[in-house]
Structure 1
């Protein structure tokens, strides 16, 4: 993929992590780290915008030298990488959480459910731990505890259905209650509070710093990135992105394993 020709450098760079700047081997290249340092030297702001919860951000914080801000759990948290602390949280209310769980179980037999907080993950007996977790990190709880307090994110995993198939089943039955999406292909569907998204959290942060959408560029690879990319003045999808992303973005760039984001940033923030 070719790098788009340089334009005026954005004031804000917003990027997804996994599949976008994190490579297939779960590393971030030295080139990518240097490219984001270039953004900062030019006076730009960068924000990491991810589906990961804060508990899975330690390695990323180390990579970026504990600088900057991350939007986590698809907009449910704003997380300060320097202090490793949550500075804002948007949770699904208890009554909505329980009703969403009931509808998902009815619409998708066999689904296992879990709730995700900043630093813990709790699931029912059917929830299958994913690549990021082991069975020992998932706290097994009865429904009264699982759905008895507000939760920033609700997760459903199915033993057979793909993420796209799960989303197609879930969206019609819970879309009026929560923001439902998927961020990978690992048989997973996810939900945050209604009105919460990567775009809403990014917009909130930008307004605090007097940055307009037109002054922002966004990079991503999955359907949960689409609201953020629609919000930003310029959007970039990596070559390995979901087809829905590739169809919607302004520019298609090199893949995550080719450091596509770094190549664009080097062009936008050229140094002599």
Structure 2
């Protein structure tokens, strides 16, 4: 779209608690819309291009400066080379958290394409950009390919998230999930922080302890001498384990 209204953005976002900026489409291609919640991100300034939107600002919950770059790369190898050089210069000059994301229209290895020609030069230049910018890719879960041709005979992994060390330090539990495709030929990708609670530390036991003379008898005697007054068998069993862990230094 060469223009977009707040009513249309509200329909996508769900409410009016947002700020936004967009790069207009050129003909039938391009167009980048960035929308954010002003309670979480405060924009200082931005750079607009046909192929990217760069947002400079503050991530409010952590009070840290952040650079967010959303990319829609061109098809031409030469144009992409120019884009990579420019984005790398922005990233290398930035002193803060950084994330580069979007449709890069390029793959990093042969396995990222199915049914189409793999361009070695293009992949090498793309990987060079990632390396020179000192960016780290967030691995995608869910689906291998993010773009599918309408014929389903061609598929590629074109969409990615890259972050710098600072971003990973502030958000160490980042995870990207590739979702089901509906209206677009690209799959939407959800980037989120996933905190996994595996519960208490498992009971740790070394098989080598069985080789110690008298070990079996020690455990047997100690277990039978534990005097716990609890009518619930399972709770009594659990307390026996806890007592044994403290007694022998297990776990």
TM-score, length-scaled by structure 2: 0.23
Q: Higher strand share goes to which structure? A: 2
Determine which structure has more spread, i.e. the larger CA radius of gyration. 2
Query: Larger relative CO (CA 8 A, sep 6+): 1 or 2?
Result: 1
